Amino acid sequence: MTISPEAFGALFDSFRREAFRLETLDDYSGSGSVDAYRAFLAGEPQPEDYNASWLAQVRRNTSAGRRMYRVHVLSRPLTPYLRFELGWGYRTNATAGEEFFILDVTESPNPVVGVPDFWMFDESSTVSMMYAEGGVFAGAEMESAPERWIALRDVALSRAEPFDTWWERHGSE
């Protein structure tokens, strides 16, 4: 069932324990932070207000004791967009309490191949996300069968490592 942007956004205010995201793409450049991405590519410094609304959302949730975390499935070498997302986005969002994990499939099989990006809230509400060419967000669907999504999260997390550990080894590649 298609979910409206408003209903999807409301889930970030109403979850009680945790919000988990699985990211599977190398490019989301058409979906948000377009100006920041252009600045990154041009070698400009990160704007002071970069990602301010998301940081406020994360802070509200983590300050209330709710966990927000994600696993990004990727392979090296990193695309320019992933350098931006990890170098600017993850490092900035972590200051608000969001947790990040990397499932690097450069030298190992991808255990979640073919799985769409999704957000799962409190292990009960899952929204899968669709993207078009160039990382343009194309819509979202409310999913059923929470056991499937929980299992996918658990598989991804079991193979992932904390972002900081991964970035220390591979961030300069």
- Distance between CA atoms of 173 and 171, rounded to whole angstroms? 6
Predicted pLDDT of residue 44: 96
pTM, full prediction:
0.95
Q: What local confidence, expressed as pLDDT, does residue 31 receive?
A: 87
Report the pLDDT value the prediction gives residue 15, as an integer from 0 to 100.
98
Phi, psi of 168, rounded to the nearest 5 degrees = -60, -40
pLDDT of residue 34: 86
Give yes or no for residue 78 having a pLDDT over 90: yes
| Strand duo 125-132 + 117-121: pairing | antiparallel
Whole-number pLDDT of residue 173:
84
pLDDT in tens, 14-72: 999 999 999 999 999 988 788 899 999 999 999 989 999 999 999 999 999 999 999 99
Q: Is 165 or 134 the better-scoring residue by pLDDT?
A: 165
According to the model, what pLDDT value does residue 32 have? 78
pLDDT at 3: 96
User: Is the CB of residue 88 less than 8 Å from the CB of residue 46?
Assistant: yes
Instruction: Say how far apart CA 2 and CA 143 lie, in whole Å.
Output: 9
Distance of CA 101 to the CA centre of its chain: 9
CATH at residue 119: 3.30.870
| Residue 94 β-bridge partners | none
Determine the structural domain holding residue 124 and report its residue range.
Answer: 5-170
pLDDT bin (cut points 50, 70, 90) of residue 172 is confident
Say what the pLDDT of residue 90 is.
Answer: 96
Total domains present in the chain: 1
